Every structure is written in C-alpha cells, then in structure tokens.
Structure 1
Amino acid sequence: MSEMRWLDYGVILAYLIGITAFGYRFRESQKTLKDYFLGGRDAPWWAIAFSIVSAETSTLTVIGTPAISFNGNFGFLQVVFGYLLARIIISVLFLPQYFRGEMFTAYELMLRRFGPNIRKLTAGSFLGLRALAEGVRVFAISIVVSIVLGTGELLSALAIVSLTLFYTFEGGMTAVIWTDVIQMCLYVAGAILSVFVILQQIPGGWDHVAELGRAAHKFQVFDFAVSMTPAFFAKTYSFWAGVLGGCFLTTASHGTEQLMVQRLLSAKNEREARLALFSSWFVILFQFTLFLVIGVMLWVYYQDANLPPPEPRDRIYPKFIWDFLPHGVSGLVIAAILAAAMSNLSAALNALASTTVMDFIKPADKVQRSDSQYLSLAKKMTVLWCAILLGIALLARSIESVLEAGLGIASIIYGALLGVFLLGLLTKRTGERAAMIGMSCGLAISIYVKFYTSIAWTWYVLIGSSITFLVALAASYLVTEREKRLHV
C-alpha cells in the first residue's frame, strides 16, 4: 500500500475520532428524558434545519442519486418539488397540534385524538418502517467502507455503527443535532470538491459535459405526459408521480414519522420549527441537484473512457472517488459520505429508542419509574435497536438500488400512517376502531401494490393514505351505528 494511500486513511480516521469525541462531549447535559430525546429544546432553528437535511438525504442520497442520473436524467427533482408542497401542509395542519402541550413523540397525538390502541399501532408501524429502511441505509454504509478497506459487509457496517452508537448513546438528541450540522457541511463540501476534481478528469471540462448531457437529454427535469395506462403509473419520475408522490411522501415522513417529528419538537417554539422546516427545503434542492450533476459528469467520464461502469451502480460515485481523486482529497470525500451515514443513523437510533420508551414501555408501567431510570432504559433501547439494524443490513445485500429501495420500503408504511394522521386532524366523527380498520386496509393495499403490481414507489403513499382515509371514514358510520345499538 502506497504512503499516499495512508494519507486517505489518516483523514478518514481523524474524522471518525473527531466526530465521535465531539458527540460524546454532550453527555454531561443528558440528565432528563427531555434532554435525551428533545435536546432540552435549546437548539437554534438553523441547526435543526441542517439536522432535517442530514436526515432527509443520508448515504442513500450521496451514493444513490448520482446513480439515478447516470442511468437516466434529472427527473428525480420532480419529487423534490413535491417536498415543498408537503412542507406547506405540515406547517398548517401538523405543527400547531404538535406544539399544544409538551410532546415527545408524534404518536402521542394519536393517543390524544383516538386512544391508546391506535397510538400503539402507529408507533409500531414506525418502528417496523424505520428498522427496515435504516437497515438498508446501514448496508449502504458497508458499500462505502468495503470499497475503502476491502472488508466484508458485516465488518464494514459494524465499524461505523459502533462509533455512531457511542456518541448517540452518550449525547442523545443534542449530539444528534450538532453532529448533523458538522456532518452536513462536510459532505456538501466534499461533493462540491469532487465536482471540480471530476471535471479535471474530463477533457473539455464542463462544456463537454453539458454538450453530451444535453444530447442525451440528461438534464431533462419535467415529464408532463399523462395517460391512464399501466405504463404511466409504472413510471417513477413523471411530473405527476414526482410532485404528488413527493408531496405525500414528505408529508408522511416529516409529519408522522418520529425521525423527523422529533427534530421539529426539539425547536424552541412552533415559529422556529416552521422556519427550520422551510429553510431545509432550499438546501435539499441544492443537494439533490448537486448529486445529479455528479452522476451526469461520471456518465460522461465513463463514456469518454469507454469503460464499463461498476456494478451495482450505487458503487459508481464512491469507487470513482477512491480510485481517481488525489490522495487526501479522496479520503476527505469518503469521510464526507460516512458523515452522511452517521448523521442519519444516530437520529434513527434516538428516534427508535424514544418511540419504544415513550409509546410502549412507559404507558405500560403500572408504577412509573423515575426520570433517571427511564433515561437508563432509553440508552439500553438505543443499543438494542443498533443490533437489530445490523441484522437487517445483512439481509439487504441483494438490493440493486439502495436509494430507491429505502424510499420504496418507507412508502409502503407511510401511506397508512399519513392516512390515519389526516383522519385525526381533518375529521371529528372517526373513532379509534374505524381508524384502525382503515389503517390496516391501507397497509394491506400498499403491500399488495408493492409486491404484486408494477406501480412505481412514488404512488405508494398517495394510494395507501387515500385507502386508509376513505375506508376509515366509511367504517366510522358502521361502527357508530353498531355502538348505538349496543347501548340501546
């Protein structure tokens, strides 16, 4: 191994040690559940905004988005425009409810509106959803680390997960938010740096990239074609699938999933939560555009060099970085990709632990424990969920596209979650039993659509939430009539 390659390892090692030590320093402030799960509600809005971006992008974005434009075009941005519509809906419907009183999880809203059973069902759905989706993301981490170190998937994932667990276990949500800020800045800077380095590898620079990209329609964003054929609903990145799908997907993820809601609840007040939510969208748009541009540049590079791209395609960006970027620079960019992975994983571990403790263990306790006892239990749940995610990651090795797999998994359960939350916010007559019936039907239909139809994942949340809402609304009339007869 060359001496210069050791420079890359040194940069990566310095980052891993530095970010772990930085997160660990927040351990002294973790005295209560409010500190551990909500960061004491002391974080400024801009830090929460960066934390939202870190959770929304993750390693799946960093290594998966370039592969999308490498294979296709900029159509994925249609989904991002739907993200903005979702933020408007969340700020109007969801945020006012979340800031009525002190809440630790999104599913306490379901307890307030419906009852304990629907709270457990929605919280349990989140645990299953986040465990599966985050397991795929842990596998994405192993792709990067295995390229760098040449290790197997298990050892690669274990190395990063262990370090992330350490500072999440000790520093709680405060460590999550502030490490997110550093990690987001690092992986964006790494991506910008890689753009300039990749251009240096391409004769003709950006002008050549733009010429070939335009000729191959790589920069096409919008596809307004409409038809009622199966092919229309099978197309992932049309305008209608993208905007509607992105809107419903983000309304579900940012409005009903604890991973995102926990960040909003960490804001000092509703106004700062709203400010963090909207400002994060502009960063998201910039990031996705940046990584799509990188994908097109890599496509031009492989075209000019007449080289076969690596398989699976998610390896394209990290492999190019490690093989072709100057020593030291490649180590910095790989560290940036690991930063995205660690930021998302730390937030997921904290969200899974908070939901387990606040929505299942604490309500089931006949005798309430002290706050310090619950805090100790929360840390134990963090460790448990870490082990579960590693197990799921090992089962995800046959996945072709980690980005689309992660979004597809999430979209299956998001529909039912969003549908029942909308029921609680928009209707008054629907009760708990009807809501559970609707949610069960919405989840069943979403699973059927995923595994037995060719419909694209961008439609899953729209379909699932619509089925949940309509079935529950219809069931509310039947359930109400039956309950009246029982009381006569």
Structure 2
Amino acid sequence: MSALDWLVLGGTLLFIVGYGTWRTRAAGRTLDSYLLGGRQANWWGIGLSIIATQASAITFLSTPGQAYDDGMRFIQFYFGLPVAMVLIAAVAVPIYHRLRVFTAYEYLETRFDRRTRTLAACLFLVQRGLSNGLSLYAPALVLSAILGWNINLTVWLIGGLMISYTVAGGTRAVAVTQQGQVAVIFTGMVVAGYLLVHYLPPGVGFSEAMQVAGHQGKLNLIDFTFDPSDRYNFWTGMTGGLFLALSYFGTDQSQVQRYLAGRSITESRLGLLMNGLVKVPMQFGILLIGVLLFVFYQFNQPPLTFNRPVREQIATQPKFAPQLQALEQRHVTLFNGKRAATEQVVAALQQDDATQLAVAQMRLKTAQTAIRELRTEAQAFFKQAAPLAEAKDTDYVFLTFVLAYMPRGLVGLLIAVVLSAAMSSAAAGLNALASTTVIDLYKPARPRSDERHYVSVSRWATITWGVLGIAFALFAARLENLIQAVNILGSLFYGTILGIFVVAFFMKKIGGNAVFWAAIVTQAVIFLLFQTTTIAYLWYNIIGCALVMLLAAVGQRLASPPGPLSRKEGEPDASRATGLRRLPPP
C-alpha cells in the first residue's frame, strides 16, 4: 500500500474509534448505562447497529468470493429475514421491553426456571464466542496478506484494538462507532462496484456484463427445486433461513441487545423493520460485486490461485517451484482462449446474432471446462505442496482485486471497510458475551453486589471473551469459505435456542423440566446429524426448533397427568426471577 492508503486507512479508523470513545466517555457508571446505554437509542440508530452487527468483515471478504464461485444464489439465504423481522417485532419486542430485561435469557427464568435460562445462555456463549473468533480472523487475513505479517500476531493486534474501546465504553461506544463504520462500509462498496464496471473493456458496460454473467450461470437468483441437501434454494431460504433469522435476531444476545437499548417498543420495532428492508438489497449489492468480479476476470488474467501467501510459499520451494510455473503457464494459455471466446460472446450479443452466439458459447464452454480441470489439478498440487494451507481461495478474490487494481487512496478505504465491519460485529459480540456472562451466570450467584462491582466484572468478562475469541481465530484458517463457516456454526445451535423460546412464547402449558431435557436431547441430535448426514445446514434450524417443541410436549404429557396445570409446572410468576418484575404495557 502507498503512503496515501495508510493515511486513509489509519485516519478513518482512528477517527471512528476516537470519536466513539469521546462521545461515550461518561458512559458505563451503572450497569444499565454500560450494558444498554441507558435504554435511550432511537430507531435509526438501532437499525444501523443491527446491520453493522450482522455485517462482519467476513461479509465483505467472503460473500463476493461466494458469488464469484457460485453465482447469486446465496441471496436466497436471506429471503426469510424480512418475515422474521415482522414476527420478532410483533412477539418478542413487547415481552422484552415490558420485563425490562438485560438479556433475552432472563425472560426464560420468569417463564420456566433458572436451569433453562442458564442452558440457553451457555448455548449462546459457546456459539457466539466461536463466531467472534471467525470475525477476528477475517480482517487478520487481510492485513497478513497485505503486510506479510504473521497471521497470529495480526489477530492479536486487531483483537486488542477492538477489546480496548469495547471495554472502555460498553454498549454506547459500540453503537456510536457502528454508525461511522456503516457509513464507511456503504461508501466503500459503492466505490468498488463503480470501479469494477469502469475497468471493463471498451464497449462492455453494465448491461453487457450482466449478459455475460447470465450466460455463464452466475445470475441464478432463485431456484425453486426442492433438495434437502442443497444449501441455497428458495425453500431453504424461506424455511431454514427464516428460522435462522428468527433465532439470530430474536434470541441471540448480540442482536437482542441492540434493540433492548431502544427508548420504547416503537423505536425497537422500527429498528428491526429497517433492517428487514435494508438487509436483502445490501446483500444483493455485495453479491453483485462478486458477479462483477467474475466478469472482470473474464477479460483480465486472474491468478492461478487468489491465495497469494500460499502461492508465494510454494514458489520458494525448489521441489515444487517448476511444477507451479508449468501450471501457471498452462493457465495463461487457456485463459487467452477463454477471453477470446468471451469477447466473441459479447460481440454476438451486441449484434443479436443467434448463430454466432451459439458457436461462441460452445467455444466458451470448452474453454471453461479446460480451466476448471486445470484449477482442480492445481488445488490438489497446492494441498500437496502446502498441506497446512487453505486450499479454497474464494475468500481472497475481492482482496486480490483491491490490491491489484484499486487506485491509491481507495485501497486504504476498502481495507478500512473490512476492518470497520470486523470491529463493529466483533465489538457487539463481545458486548453481548459480557452481558450474558454477568447477567445470566454471575449476578444470580452474587445477587447482593453493588452496581460498580457488576460493571467491573462486565469489563473483565469482555476482556476474557476477547482473548478466547482470538484463540479460536488462530484455528479459523482450517475452515471452508468463511461466510458458510459462520452460518454453519450458527445453525448448529440456533434451532435449539429458538425452540426453547417458541415453547416459552406459545406453549404455555409446558414447564421448565420438560423443555430443559428436550433442549439437551435436541442439541445432541443436531450434532449427530451434522456428523453423519448431508442435510443442508439451514435445515438444522427447523429440525432443532421443531424437535424441542415436540419433545417438550411429549415430556410434559408424560410427567403431568391430564387436568389443570399447577403453577409449579406451568408459567411461574415473574417475581421468582432475581431482579425482574412484570410491568404494565407502556
């Protein structure tokens, strides 16, 4: 990077972090202000915070690579999200606000018992703690590729910066910095999309680029084929994706905490609905950048692998360097043939010549097959030459374009986009992990301590979870495409957690003992399915939720004879929960 890039990158990040820290310098004196910002957030601030929390660095590194490799069909993953926002706004938000809870899991004690609350909190802590590690690994991937730094050291540096301002300002610091981070993110992605179109050859504009992408199967937006083993089609998005969104936004404390900070039910609802309106178009835009990258590399020579560190590692080994050079030379030759075929396709489309188009498409298909076979051979070679390195290179596609083609200054801006997204998502996750640890595990065990003590413990919990996230990040390079890794990890836990909350909200005759053991059994079943079947991971959200409901109903029926349900086995009074009280509707 040039000096100007470093200036843009450093200036952007320092301004966002510095401004957020200064704005929230008086926050954190009470538990309410530290964990929920005094419950004074307005709807647009809540909406931006929800968007920033979900849009991690993985979104901007991995999603364009996903579209480059697999087309636009990943967008179907988000089809159920707007529906989920409406349902959560209608059902969960009023309950959380009326009880004035700090975490979603506090409600479970008022409905069931402390054991069920603790189980749900622990499932969240495991899942979110691991996910935060992935959120730290993604930007470390960027800086290690740019600077050649040891990736472990890079993880520690980024994690340390993010931990410092999260510990200092709590929820308000996270929310204020997220507003600046979202502005940088949207600016950077618009600039990237414009330049990708601008860099296409003369005579190839946006419409021609979309035609080229469409003829090569990259505009596969909707697939109505029902296939349980297919991760991305309309049915998995509207069912599994819906249940995943319900669990993530309705029961995951990293998101619930964003709208618990709202000053009223209306503000929280509007923030959620804003996310429902913005998220799908935003994700469409990011995937479209991946498709434009694909078209760009039909006319410009791509590397044999986008994973530059692995390529450089192999090139220095005398045993493997000659074979690498031979593969790269074959790649250049095959690409030249594919580029000529692509240009012939564009010319046929512009002239509306069906005969020429058919010939060009056949030629292009032959060239693509040859390159695909070469890349398969190359990946096997890379795995042999560097067994511990990541063979899949889609996470590096967007990064490679930024470093190779972006003008000076804009490279720094795009790197700032990635780091801003990383810090916004990981900081919100840390904040939620600390809140859940203190409110759901520590405070019930130490109910008579004062506010200052709980705030101090919250800060130490933030540090502890930050260090644990860093530790997991050091192993993240062994995972597949990062955006899929995050969603797989969430799906392993979210179905069970959602099932507990669905029972709490809608199955009023089921008590804590039945739902506790139903959740334990369900979580074991989900892990077993993941290990032994090829079911697409989005279905785990439906299976987990449905199985908790079914087993809890059966367990309650076996444990209780027919007849009126006693208070002990039904919904307990809110006064049983430490520090909670039922309030009249606002």
Q: Determine if the TM-score, normalized by the shorter chain, exceeds 0.5.
A: yes
Unaligned segments of structure 2, at least 5 residues:
308-392, 569-586
Could you tell me how far 1:470 is from its partner in structure 2? 0.6
> In angstroms, what is the RMSD of aligned CA positions?
1.7
Q: Deviations over 1:213-247 (max 9, x none)?
A: 11113122111113xxxxx1110111101111111
The answer on whether the counterparts of 1:83 and 1:250 sit within 8 Å (CA) in structure 2 is yes
Q: Deviations over 1:290-345 (max 9, x none)?
A: 11111011111222224235142111112211221001011111101110000001
The answer on whether the counterparts of 1:57 and 1:284 sit within 8 Å (CA) in structure 2 is no
2:358 is the alignment partner of 1:363: no
Partner Cα distance (1:475, 1:165) in 2: 43
Instruction: Name the aligned partner's letter for residue 445 of structure 2.
Output: A
Could you tell me how far 1:397 is from its partner in structure 2? 1.4
Partner Cα distance (1:352, 1:23) in 2: 20
Please name the residue that 1:253 is paired with. Answer: 248
Partner Cα distance (2:428, 2:267) in 1: 20
Larger radius of gyration: 2
The answer on whether the counterparts of 1:58 and 1:341 sit within 8 Å (CA) in structure 2 is yes
- SS of corresponding position for 2:207: helix
Please name the residue that 1:189 is paired with. Answer: 187
Please name the residue that 1:315 is paired with. Answer: 396
2:519 pairs, out of 439, 442, 463, with: 439
Partner Cα distance (2:4, 2:93) in 1: 47
- Between 1:372-381 and 1:154-163, the stretch displaced more is 154-163
Partner Cα distance (2:531, 2:297) in 1: 34
The answer on whether the counterparts of 1:302 and 1:309 sit within 8 Å (CA) in structure 2 is no
Could you tell me how far 1:209 is from its partner in structure 2? 1.3
Instruction: Name the aligned partner's letter for residue 153 of structure 2.
Output: L
The answer on whether the counterparts of 1:139 and 1:157 sit within 8 Å (CA) in structure 2 is yes
Instruction: Name the aligned partner's letter for residue 440 of structure 1.
Output: I
2:287 is the alignment partner of 1:292: yes
- Between 1:353-362 and 1:427-436, the stretch displaced more is 427-436
Partner Cα distance (2:14, 2:148) in 1: 20
Residues matched between the structures, number: 476
| TM-score normalized with structure 1 length | 0.95
Identity %, equivalent residues: 33
Distance 1:430 1:402, change over 3 A: same
Partner Cα distance (1:430, 1:138) in 2: 40
Could you tell me how far 1:428 is from its partner in structure 2? 1.6
Please name the residue that 2:296 is paired with. Answer: 301
Please name the residue that 2:553 is paired with. Answer: 473
Please name the residue that 1:229 is paired with. Answer: none
Could you tell me how far 1:201 is from its partner in structure 2? 2.0
The answer on whether the counterparts of 2:522 and 2:544 sit within 8 Å (CA) in structure 1 is yes
- Between 1:443-452 and 1:460-469, the stretch displaced more is 443-452
Please name the residue that 1:107 is paired with. Answer: 105
Distance 1:133 1:482, change over 3 A: farther
Instruction: Name the aligned partner's letter for residue 230 of structure 2.
Output: K
- Between 1:69-78 and 1:170-179, the stretch displaced more is 69-78
Partner Cα distance (1:252, 1:275) in 2: 19
Partner Cα distance (2:191, 2:104) in 1: 38
Please name the residue that 2:16 is paired with. Answer: 19
Partner Cα distance (2:162, 2:150) in 1: 19
- SS of corresponding position for 2:538: helix
The answer on whether the counterparts of 2:80 and 2:239 sit within 8 Å (CA) in structure 1 is yes
- SS of corresponding position for 2:104: coil
2:155 is the alignment partner of 1:157: yes
Partner Cα distance (1:72, 1:446) in 2: 27
Pairing 1:79-228 to 2, within 5 Å after superposition: 79-203=77-201, 204-226=204-226
- Between 1:274-283 and 1:153-162, the stretch displaced more is 153-162
Partner Cα distance (1:422, 1:249) in 2: 13
| TM-score normalized with structure 2 length | 0.79
Instruction: Name the aligned partner's letter for residue 269 of structure 1.
Output: S
The answer on whether the counterparts of 2:27 and 2:170 sit within 8 Å (CA) in structure 1 is no
Please name the residue that 2:63 is paired with. Answer: 65
2:229 is the alignment partner of 1:234: yes
The answer on whether the counterparts of 2:499 and 2:548 sit within 8 Å (CA) in structure 1 is yes
Please name the residue that 2:329 is paired with. Answer: none
Following TM superposition, the consecutive aligned residue runs of length 4 or more in structure 1 with deviations greater than 6 angstroms are none
2:447 is the alignment partner of 1:338: no
Instruction: Name the aligned partner's letter for residue 296 of structure 2.
Output: Y
Partner Cα distance (2:472, 2:157) in 1: 16
Could you tell me how far 1:482 is from its partner in structure 2? 12
Q: Deviations over 1:227-269 (max 9, x none)?
A: xxxxx11101111011111110010001111011111100011
Instruction: Name the aligned partner's letter for residue 358 of structure 1.
Output: I
The answer on whether the counterparts of 2:99 and 2:107 sit within 8 Å (CA) in structure 1 is no
Please name the residue that 2:238 is paired with. Answer: 243
Partner Cα distance (1:414, 1:49) in 2: 22
Partner Cα distance (1:418, 1:399) in 2: 26
Instruction: Name the aligned partner's letter for residue 221 of structure 2.
Output: V
Could you tell me how far 1:14 is from its partner in structure 2? 1.4
Instruction: Name the aligned partner's letter for residue 122 of structure 1.
Output: A
Please name the residue that 2:474 is paired with. Answer: 394
Partner Cα distance (1:256, 1:380) in 2: 24
Instruction: Name the aligned partner's letter for residue 382 of structure 1.
Output: T
Instruction: Name the aligned partner's letter for residue 201 of structure 1.
Output: Y
Instruction: Name the aligned partner's letter for residue 180 of structure 1.
Output: Q
2:435 is the alignment partner of 1:354: yes
Unaligned segments of structure 1, at least 5 residues:
227-231
Pairing 1:420-439 to 2, within 5 Å after superposition: 420-439=500-519
Partner Cα distance (1:446, 1:55) in 2: 26
2:269 is the alignment partner of 1:274: yes
Partner Cα distance (2:195, 2:153) in 1: 30
